[in-house]
Amino acid sequence: MEKWKVFVTRKLPQKALDWLGEKCELEVNPENRILKKEEVIKGVKGKDGLLCLLTDKIDAEVMDSADLKMIANYAVGFDNVDVKAATKRKIPVSNTPGVLTDATAELAWALLFSMARRVVEGDKFCRAGKYKGWDPMLLLGMDLKGKTLGVVGAGRIGTAFALKSRGFGLKVLYTDKRKNELLEKELGAKQVELRELLKEADFVSIHTTLTPKTKHLIGEKELRIMKPKAILINASRGPMLDEKALARALKEGWIFGAGLDVYENEPEMEPELLDLDNVVLLPHLGSATEETRTKMALMAAENLVAGLKGGVPPNCVNPEVFE
Ligand code: DGY
């Protein structure tokens, strides 16, 4: 039996490549780097399926370079794929929801703790040989207990992030289109408007989906509403935050600090941020655990094969293709 031809834009956990390799004829980008668009176009030529990453921009031009039957994105976010264009061409697109929820929520907590307790500054201080003995005023951070946590977007990851606050004695506020019964029951969390959340919360963490409407959801106006002692965390998508406004806010002390895992124009970041101590910067590590990345890769592979078989992939983001 002839195997489906598949292009994989970057090397993924081997378990998933092995599984996929049994069912498909694979071409995997041999280099450990993000491919240029022309290279993706070259790669998809003659292929039935594409397994791509959040770093690959998959638009109409890419789709029209092949006769793709399925696009499986190796991420829960799929703003890198022009889903409308795919739907128009009857190509199902899938993502990897659920399997990275806890890893991403845990990373948001890592950022929050790093900033609140100045972990990165402390590490740098030690490595620079500056530690000369216990100091009552050295690198004072802030307590978590008794503070207010603001969760912007209480979907899967926002909910998991909020639930993980249970041991820390925080009051929880959240914004969302829908009432989150689980958070209200488990934590006594309160649904509020964004403005109220920004005004009241000591720690604000962004977990909404990036859409044209949520771009720059937090900009200068919003940053100025926040408390001067507040910490802002973003482990969702970079464009949700106006990075230039954030750099100013951090420099001029409108807020205490920030923890970022994502950037407006990845891998670039606002250069001013690099000179600031009150921001912790990570290279998009939200789902970066061995277990999670393997689960994501297997999920993407399963979606791909399901779509190639002509069925509705389990995590199809444009099921209208099948209507
Ligand atoms: C996703 O899956 O969207 C994450 O950003 C990857 O870490």
- Ligand 1, CB within 6 Å, residue ranges: 54, 75-77, 100, 286-287
Locus of tokens 């598949």? 6
Is the model's pLDDT at 1 over the cut of 80? no
Measured by CA distance, the residue closest to atom 4 of ligand 1 is: 75
Is the model's pLDDT at 2 over the cut of 80? no
Torsion, Cα 43 49 53 59, to 10 degrees, reads 80
Size (the chain), residues: 323
Provide DSSP, 31-91.
Answer: SSSPPPHHHHHHHHTT-SEEEE-TTS-B-HHHHTTTT-SEEEESSS--TTB-HHHHHHTT-
Partners of 73 in the beta sheet?
A: 52
Please report which helix (H) or strand (E) contains residue 119, including its range: helix 119-127
- Residue 172 to residues 48, 76, 142, 221, 323, Cα–Cα distance (Å): 47, 25, 17, 23, 41
Question: Phi and psi of 134, rounded to 5°?
Answer: -55, 135
Instruction: Identify the CA nearest to 264 among candidates 197, 213, 210.
Output: 210
For residue 191, report the distance from its CA to the centre of ligand 1, in Å.
26
> pLDDT tens digit string along 103-155?
999 999 999 999 999 999 999 999 999 999 999 999 999 999 999 999 999 99
Measured by CA distance, the residue closest to atom 2 of ligand 1 is: 75
Residue 321: the pLDDT is 98
Partners of 302 in the beta sheet?
A: none
CA distance 290 to 278: 29
> pLDDT tens digit string along 82-107?
999 999 999 999 999 999 999 999 99
Q: Which residues are catalytic?
A: 237, 266, 284
For residue 75, report the distance from its CA to the centre of ligand 1, in Å.
5
